[in-house]
Structure 1
Amino acid sequence: MLITNHVLSGALVGRAAPGPATALLAGVGSHFALDVVPHWGDDSIFLQVAVPDGLVGLGAIAWVWRTTEADARVRVLAGVVGACLPDLDKPGRLFFGASPFPAAVDAFHVRIQHESPRRLPQEFLVAAAGVLAVRGLSRAASRRAARRPSRG
């Protein structure tokens, strides 16, 4: 699964969570739930896709932060962090030659994935759905906040 999709799903999880700790844990759970779904993967061009995806993912984090109301930002960001955390094995191996996780966690992470090089279009559809969902929930929250009587 592209990291951008994990970012967006983590934002949705964080929005639904009651607090940051729950959002972080639920974000991790969402990562593994998404990785169970058949998705794109192609080791022959992984870095060619992963680098731009990582940059888009960073942009998505900034967009999520900017469009999330202030009182929800910490838990939404916690959901994003949790959703992205399990993929630290990839940069860990690339830059340091080792995953930061125990071998059993890495083995589980590999075992649950069903990747195919033919599924990249699916990743873009998932991303589009994620953007629409995050945008819709952010707008709805903004409208609710605008209707609340001001404190004073």
Structure 2
Amino acid sequence: MSADNARPLVQIASYNTNLQAERGLPQDLVDWLAPTLQVSSFLARERRAPDIVAVGFQELLPLHLGLSGLSNPVLESRNALILSQIEKHAPNNERYTLIAKVVNVGVALLVYGRDDGVGQRACDRIRDYHHIVGTLLFPPRSSSSADSTPSGPTTMFDTRYQRRKGAWR
């Protein structure tokens, strides 16, 4: 989101794959997505790429395949195709990042953010979150406690850190 555009532009789309999974023709998806990207820039009344693009899928694959956890390869192929089409139709060759991916059996949601705005800030916040959780909630074991179990992995975490730090009561 640039400084002159204070309001984020959000593109939302949904697609029913009709249980085709990997057999679905990628061209169907391209033909469906390209016009919505063009209409989005028309409705924005300016030549501007969306800051956030959310694409939902329903009937992604048959129920028995979704329950067995086989939706990830299908979703990865759709992700690559959608990302290529979003970037291809961006007016100023903007780049996008996958911010979130949620799959629930045969229903999926992919959320993309523009790299020079929302996408970068979201990635920064996610990185901050992982840093905070990694350092405050489960700090790495000290070298003295790691020496007691030399065969243990170096990435072990000790949740009894307050007891190790001394008289904290």
User: Which TM-score band applies after superposition, normalised by the shorter structure?
Assistant: 0.3 to 0.5
Based on CA coordinates, which of the two structures has the bigger radius of gyration?
2
Greater RCO structure (CA 8 Å; 6+ sep):
1
Name the TM-score, length of structure 2 as normaliser: 0.31
Q: Which structure has the highest helix share of the two?
A: 1
- Structure 1 or 2: larger strand share? 2
Q: TM-score, normalised by structure 1?
A: 0.33
